[in-house]
């Protein structure tokens, strides 16, 4: 059966500045990833940093042609804060503005709607030295950066996003030790979460003053959370995991308020962040106009079996334990469970609990190592990726049929790009990258994607 998508559906893909551009020659400042690299070059990054990455900086004119060849009518990039403001604050780089303006112009000229995101894990070094998202000064500098972007690129950007996955810096930087500053301190993490919510709302406030025709939103990584059983303890565990990891950002972004139960819990354990009544008013008055949904895997939890040591530092995991479902299907290269129905459950949640706000799938994708194994006549035959995309899209199609306001699908990613934990180990692209020659070759999935977009559906 042919599954047809609504007219004007956004077909595209996404990536970020740090992961794709490379340094280039506009005098880009250092970021937190350069700091991580200095500290431990081989910890995660497998001997590859972001100096060159996928070299989008130099190759964007040809790459935009490749977007066309692979069926893109839209594309999400991020604007590098450290490129615009090498010091994070202070003087803006005119070269950086010229670079992005030309790139955005070329995308528009080729019928590709640019979706621009303002923060994708890439804190400028100077800002990180001031405390990163823990610091109010950094929040203010970010808002100036956002303001500058709206003024400089407002005529060229189709939709704006304040953050990609604001949970990332909290989990990575303050809980699980894989982003700078690599500490385990949930209290500081909560402050980071609050400050990013506030920064997002402040950027939206400034955006509205520009009177642009575009919309502004946020991109969240959401994992529908399933209890191991219908047992009350397991269900309660799932409710807490959902509060901490999904509702914590969804509610303030879309409704302008934090879930009461989350606030109560943080208060009870002495983990409320510092804020003022004015902050809460800014958050209340500046909710998002569009929502990007990144979906990779569900979260499965059960009630804790091991007792919590009350002397240990408070963590969300005091309320639940992760649980691996027996017989689950998963991607062995990334370790993530593959559960396509999760994308449907997520869409239904947004329809029913978040006013069916304008939304789209802003990331979904499959990272696979050593894809040369699947090379035939010079092309990666990634039938597994085509299957992955189709299986998820079938559920997105069903959700749309049931009234969900889902306007597009962006795959992670376009050309193979650098990853925070695995550098170039796992490849996600529709287009293969030869890291030595920087040569690009469209994979079988890239051909499939073109057909999918041309026909606005698939069989
Ligand atoms: C998302 C990020 C992306 C990208 C993707 C794939 O969470 O927004 O930046 O990296 O995940 O994950 P990974 O690169 O860790 O395999």
Task: Examine the pLDDT at 16 and tell me if it is beyond 90.
Answer: yes
- Residues of the chain with pLDDT > 90: what percent? 97
- Residues of the chain with pLDDT > 70: what percent? 100
Can you tell me the mean pLDDT for 111-133?
Answer: 98
CA dihedral 320, 395, 158, 119 (to 10 degrees): 20
Can you tell me the mean pLDDT for 165-194?
Answer: 96
- Residue 47: pLDDT band with limits 50, 70, 90: confident
Lookup: tokens for 181:
């500053």
- Residue 42: pLDDT band with limits 50, 70, 90: confident
Can you tell me the mean pLDDT for 305-323?
Answer: 94
CA dihedral 25, 27, 33, 38 (to 10 degrees): 100
pLDDT of the residue at 395: 99
Query: Are 69 and 446 a contacting pair, CB within 8 Å?
Result: yes
pLDDT of the residue at 315: 96
pLDDT of the residue at 46: 74
pLDDT of the residue at 379: 98
Q: How much is the pTM?
A: 0.98
Lookup: tokens for 162:
């304040």
Say whether the ipTM exceeds 0.85: yes
Task: Examine the pLDDT at 45 and tell me if it is beyond 80.
Answer: no
CB of 16 shorter than 6 A to ligand 1: yes
CB of 419 shorter than 6 A to ligand 1: yes
How would you class 105 by CB atoms within 10 Å of its CB: exposed for 0-12, middle for 13-18, buried for 19 or more?
middle
Look up 372 and say whether it is catalytic. no
CB of 364 shorter than 6 A to ligand 1: no
Query: Are 375 and 381 a contacting pair, CB within 8 Å?
Result: yes
CB of 367 shorter than 6 A to ligand 1: yes
Task: Examine the pLDDT at 326 and tell me if it is beyond 90.
Answer: yes
H or E stretch at 227: strand 225-227
Collapsing DSSP states into helix, strand and coil, what is residue 149?
helix
Return the CATH architecture of domain 3-458: Alpha-Beta Barrel (3.20)
250-269 pLDDT tens trace: 999 999 999 999 999 999 99
What spacing in Å lies between the alpha carbon of 243 and ligand 1's midpoint?
22
- Residue 83: pLDDT band with limits 50, 70, 90: very high
pLDDT of the residue at 119: 99
Taking the CA of residue 334 as reference, the ligand 1 atom at the shortest distance is 16
pLDDT of the residue at 43: 75
198-221 pLDDT tens trace: 999 999 999 999 999 999 999 999
The pick from 419, 421, 426 for probing ligand 1's pocket by mutation, whose C-beta has the most ligand atoms within 8 angstroms, reads: 419
Can you tell me the mean pLDDT for 411-422?
Answer: 96
Could you state, in order of their start, the residue ranges of all structural domains in the chain? 3-458
pLDDT of the residue at 310: 87
pLDDT of the residue at 13: 99
Q: How many CA atoms lie within 13 A of 367 on its CB side?
A: 21
pLDDT of the residue at 195: 98
What is the overall mean pLDDT for the chain?
Answer: 97
In the set 165, 297, 317, 337, the catalytic residue is 165
- Residue 87: pLDDT band with limits 50, 70, 90: very high
Whole-angstrom Cα Rg for the chain: 21
How would you class 129 by CB atoms within 10 Å of its CB: exposed for 0-12, middle for 13-18, buried for 19 or more?
middle
The pick from 17, 411, 420 for probing ligand 1's pocket by mutation, whose C-beta has the most ligand atoms within 8 angstroms, reads: 420
H or E stretch at 66: helix 56-69
């Amino acid at each position: 059966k042919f599954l047809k998508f609504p007219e004007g559906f956004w077909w595209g893909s996404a990536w970020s500045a740090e992961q794709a551009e490379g340094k280039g020659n506009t005098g880009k400042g250092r970021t937190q990833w350069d700091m991580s690299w200095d500290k431990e070059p081989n910890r995660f990054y497998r001997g590859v940093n972001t100096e060159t990455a996928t070299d989008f900086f130099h190759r964007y004119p040809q790459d935009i042609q490749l977007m066309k060849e692979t069926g893109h009518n839209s594309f999400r990039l991020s604007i590098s804060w450290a490129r615009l403001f090498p010091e994070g604050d202070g003087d803006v780089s005119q070269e950086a503005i010229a670079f992005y303006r030309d790139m955005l112009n070329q995308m528009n000229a080729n019928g590709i709607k640019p979706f621009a995101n303002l923060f994708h894990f890439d804190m400028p070094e100077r800002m990180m030295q001031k405390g990163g998202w823990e610091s109010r000064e950094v929040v203010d500098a970010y808002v100036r950066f956002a303001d500058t972007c709206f003024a400089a690129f407002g005529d060229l950007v189709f939709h704006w996003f304040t953050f990609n996955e604001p949970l990332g810096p909290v989990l990575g930087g303050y809980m699980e030790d894989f982003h700078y500053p690599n500490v385990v301190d949930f209290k500081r993490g909560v402050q980071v979460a609050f400050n990013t919510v506030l920064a997002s709302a402040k950027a939206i406030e400034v955006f509205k003053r520009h009177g642009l025709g575009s919309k502004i939103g946020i991109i969240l990584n959401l994992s529908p959370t399933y209890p191991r059983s219908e047992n009350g303890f397991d269900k309660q565990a799932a409710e807490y995991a959902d509060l901490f990891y999904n509702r914590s950002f969804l509610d303030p972004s879309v409704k302008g308020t934090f879930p009461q139960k989350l606030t109560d819990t943080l208060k009870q354990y002495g983990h409320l962040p510092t804020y003022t009544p004015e902050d809460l008013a800014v958050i209340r008055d500046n909710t998002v106009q569009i929502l990007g949904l990144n979906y990779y895997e569900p979260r499965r939890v059960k009630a804790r079996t091991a007792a919590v040591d009350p002397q240990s530092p408070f963590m969300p995991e005091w309320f639940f334990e992760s649980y691996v479902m027996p017989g689950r299907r998963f991607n062995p290269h990334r370790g993530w469970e593959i559960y396509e129905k999760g994308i449907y459950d997520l869409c239904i949640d947004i329809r029913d609990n978040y006013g069916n706000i304008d939304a789209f799938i802003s990331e979904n994708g499959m990272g696979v190592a050593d894809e040369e194994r699947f090379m035939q006549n010079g092309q990666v035959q990634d039938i597994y990726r085509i299957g992955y995309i189709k299986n998820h899209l079938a559920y997105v199609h069903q959700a749309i049929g049931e009234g969900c306001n889902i306007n597009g699908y962006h795959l992670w990613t376009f050309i193979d790009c650098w990853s925070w934990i695995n550098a170039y180990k796992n490849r996600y692209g529709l287009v293969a990258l030869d890291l030595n020659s920087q040569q690009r070759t469209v994979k079988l999935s890239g051909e499939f994607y073109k057909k999918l977009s041309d026909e606005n559906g698939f069989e």
